[in-house]
Amino acid sequence: MTGNARSRRGRQAEAARNDLIVLSAAREVFAAQGAGAPVSAVAERAGVGIGSLYRRYGSKDDLLRSLCLLAMRQAIALGEAGLAEPDAWDGLTGYIRGSVAQGTGSLGPLAGAIATTAEMWQTSRRSRSVLRELVGRAHDQGTLRADVTALDIAYLVELFGRQGPLEPGTEENAIRVRLLSVAIDGLRAGSAATALAGPAPTEAHYEARWAPRLARLAACPAAHRGSRPGRRRDNGAARRNRPVPDLAAVMAAALVAVMPAGGRACCRRGRNRPLPWRSPAPAAGRRTGHLRR
């Protein structure tokens, strides 16, 4: 390997580390403050300048999209590690605990708030495909209750991960780990004292959260076709038939409005005529000066 190639790979590795630092800080900030958190808070948490951050990501939406991609890629890595486990139950529960610990659920509120890209959709579907494999293995092994679906697991991870990553050893993290253990035990086959309430979540609903406008169009295409609801379709004709005002009359009225009583407009210098900004004629016996402009 040449020196230039080693140098290039070193710069790429450093850039990847810096990206991870910034995106990890972004996840913590947006989990704590919501999607409305300022980018300056992310830069401060990451220890970088706001200018450097914008040069790397371009806009806040670009930063959020990069954060979503990172979270989905980390979920895929956790899923693939779970598939490598000999025991399907251990692989599935390891995926759940790892996803909750990294705070994937904290990005759920971003659904519908940012424009999505083809890369995001492709990565999301790959992530769900890996999760379906994990759930299928556990079903085949007989360790996961039969009425639990892959999307049930996805929503469970989102629900428990809403706080984002929590510091190990803190009381908040201990509570989350404890309650997650209760939920995981409820997933075991043989623990189903009663059937799960309600229908299973669907892929259409899961994706519609990230594309709310597309979902509305599919649900009611007629309401979104053509002009906006309630808007008259003959606006163009109405504008064309609207009477044109008399421009000379409008200008004359405006000139009268700005002139004081008795004043006369004069556009030539050197004429001793009152101008609009001068005061009216003084009363007898009083001295006055011109108003300052």
Domain ranges of the chain: 1-58, 61-213
Buried-exposed string 271-289: b where 16+ CB fall within 10 A, e elsewhere: eeebeeeeeeeeeeeeeee
Q: Which helix (H) or strand (E) element contains residue 89? A: helix 88-101
Mean residue pLDDT of the chain comes to: 75
Tell me what pLDDT residue 247 has: 57
Could you tell me the pLDDT band of residue 227, with boundaries at 50, 70 and 90?
Answer: very low
Q: How far apart are CA 186 and CA 152, in angstroms?
A: 12
Model confidence at 135, pLDDT cuts 50, 70, 90, reads very high
More confident residue, 126 or 248: 126
> Which of 7-11, 55-59, 90-94, 286-290 shows the lowest per-residue confidence on average (mean pLDDT)?
286-290
Closest CA to 19 of 62, 78, 76: 62
- Three-state DSSP at 148 gives coil
Crossing angle of helices 88-101 and 118-141, rounded to 10°:
140
Mean pLDDT of 187-198: 77
**Residue 48 pLDDT more than 70?**
yes
Whether residue 228 is predicted with pLDDT greater than 50 in this model: the reply is: no
- Has residue 62 got a pLDDT over 50? yes
Looking at the chain, how many residues does it have?
293
pLDDT reading at 7 higher than 80: no
Closest CA to 144 of 180, 190, 179: 190
**Residue 83 scores a pLDDT above 80:** yes
Q: Give residue 210's pLDDT band: very low, low, confident or very high (50, 70, 90).
A: confident
Domains 1-58 and 61-213 share a fold: no
Percent of residues, the chain, with pLDDT higher than 70:
66
Give residue 208's pLDDT band: very low, low, confident or very high (50, 70, 90): confident
Give the pLDDT of residue 201: 85
pLDDT, average across residues 157-180: 87
Nearest to 205 by CA among 219, 222, 195: 219
The CATH architecture annotation of domain 61-213 reads: Orthogonal Bundle (1.10)
pLDDT grade for 156, boundaries at 50, 70 and 90: very high
Residue 2 binned pLDDT confidence (cut-offs 50, 70, 90) = low
pLDDT of 268 above 60? no
pLDDT, tens digit (0-9, with 9 covering 90-100), for 104-120: 877 877 777 788 889 98
Backbone angles phi, psi at 24, to 5 degrees: -65, -40
- Give the domain 1-58 fold: Arc Repressor Mutant, subunit A (1.10.10)
Four-residue CA torsion sign, 143, 145, 149, 153:
negative
Determine the pLDDT at residue 17.
79
d(CA 149, CA 202): 10
